[in-house]
Structure 1
Amino acid sequence: MLASKLYSPTLREIPADAEIASHQYMLKAGMIRKNGGGLYSFLPLGRRVELKIEAIVREEMDNIGAQEIMMPIMQPAEIWHESGRWNAYGPEMFKLEDRHGNHFCLGPTHEELITTLVRNELRSYKQMPVTLWQMQNKYRDEIRPRFGLMRSREFVMKDAYSFDVDEEGLHKSYQDEYDAYTRIFTRCGLNFKPVEADSGQIGGNHTHEFMALAQAGEAEIVSCTKCDYAADIEKAVPQTVEMPAEDAKDVELIETPNCSTIEDLAQFLHIPVEKTIKAVAFTIDGEKTVLCMVRGDHEVNDVAVQNFVGGNV
């Protein structure tokens, strides 16, 4: 095809809502166009990039024996009620009702659907292990779509699901996927790091996220320069530092005028902030209040609170 025939409308002016470089460049180069908050069309150049990435993913999934399928975007509510996640998933789930009064959702993920699909078909351990995967649109009603494609309401996700005979087989399938992702991101030329992560609504007790390291992003990670430990900020566990023992003093009531933060308090009392304790309140499911006590120089991890007490913060 002649370049003169290419549909690639470029921009001179950067839209005001394009905050980060990747979003600005994709708009200016005519790769994507915004259709609404968190909704984008891929133009020919953007679609070609997407297809090349999909080809890499498909090759690496073939290499580990995973089989590609395609599941519907719209999912019946009953399978989500069965798993207990219809209400637990929260306001990010797009819910709808058809003309007959049947309830559905636009899939934010596909664990319920893949389980429903195979539970009546895999009848013997001799049929396992099997890994099924897809590249399919996902929908999440983000409270604040931003940064272009980084946080949007509609996006393409590659998701894979393994069914194994035992836990040993599960670990092998997990490692196969881990190695495949490593090869995928390496072939894409990304500077990335696998980190331990919270599994969120998807569940499980062993989760990694592959983070592309960049100045602009949606997550923060911590990593050790002396070992292989790395985790996102929601999963990371701080190293406990023992404080030197001190003699207990008599309890004393002290007025602290104009001390609205723990830093103000520490400065007013002339004590190190790490020798203070602060209380942070959370409302769970809009019904009950949970009070968390942490050291003054620490921050409460709201994801950890949610996992510990259940419900949504």
Structure 2
Amino acid sequence: MRDSAEFTRSESRFTDRFTAGGRDGRPVEAGRYRLVVSRACPWASRALVVRRLLGLEEALSLAVADPVQDERSWRFTLDPDGRDPVLGIRFLSEAYRARDAGYDGGVSVPAIVDVPSGQVVTNDYQRITLDLSTEWRAMHREGAPDLYPEKLRDEIDERMEGIYQDVNNGVYKAGFAKSQEAYDAAYSRLFARLDQVSEHLAGQRYLVGDTITEADVRLFTTLVRFDAVYHGHFKCNRNKLGEDPVLWAYARDLFQTPGFGDTVDFDHIKRHYYVVHEDINPTRIVPRGPDLRGWRAPHHREELGGRPFGDGTPPPPPPPHEVVQPL
């Protein structure tokens, strides 16, 4: 029986698949769909990184929500007149209700919306990036890396499952625990897994094989938020990321790789967590730190070998309208 004090993540409500030619789900079609994200959200950040690495900017347009949502859901207040310029809506919840008029559940990002109908297609954050890698191949840029190579999928899946349970979702289990026992259990699993991953990465540059894979993307989006929010805000404070030499160097290596750090907005990250989670931070004061300059420091991970993009190439710079303020 599940401890009622333990945080439980809601399952995705809309899970339509994208498949090449529409053989089993929605057809992949350039320009038809819009990816809605918040740069604050680690689950949405997976999609931001993968979209950049694969060069899908022209095929799949991007809507960025305000990092501070209200009771009406994620808001498009960063856009003129507070409306998404493509979908014409003020709140992501409108796309959810366009799909299901009676829907009254949570509204999450990432979400992919069908532009012609205005309906959400999927908010399945676990599946979206895998489909972008496998089913959207015809839209990939020349030189795009294979983030989910078939011969390594079993190992990638195994790595991702452990990291999801204990790290990606583990920080939330610690931060939103409603009892000391639930918090202690999540805390223990989190740092046991991080220690295991650190030991693994001490001898190789990436989690699986010698190139970046989906597993690295999923670990990165938690690590990049660790010192800024999870260490203090979620009480994941055995040590900071910057105090683990291996994980800190690994995270910096990815951050400095085109497609990773250029999607990260620390201002959005901090404002979301510290302002929205009033039950944890009732004052809504956003801390000034940490000092972010270390993210650009040399990491020396290249000495372990590896080829970040395999036989491919780095992505070009992001489109001007998607550039994040640099550190």
TM-score, normalization by structure 2: 0.27
Q: Identify the structure with bigger relative contact order (alpha carbons < 8 Å, sequence gap 6+).
A: 2
**Which of the two has greater helix per residue?**
2
Q: Greater strand share, 1 or 2?
A: 1
Normalised by the length of structure 1, the TM-score is 0.28
Greater C-alpha radius of gyration = 1
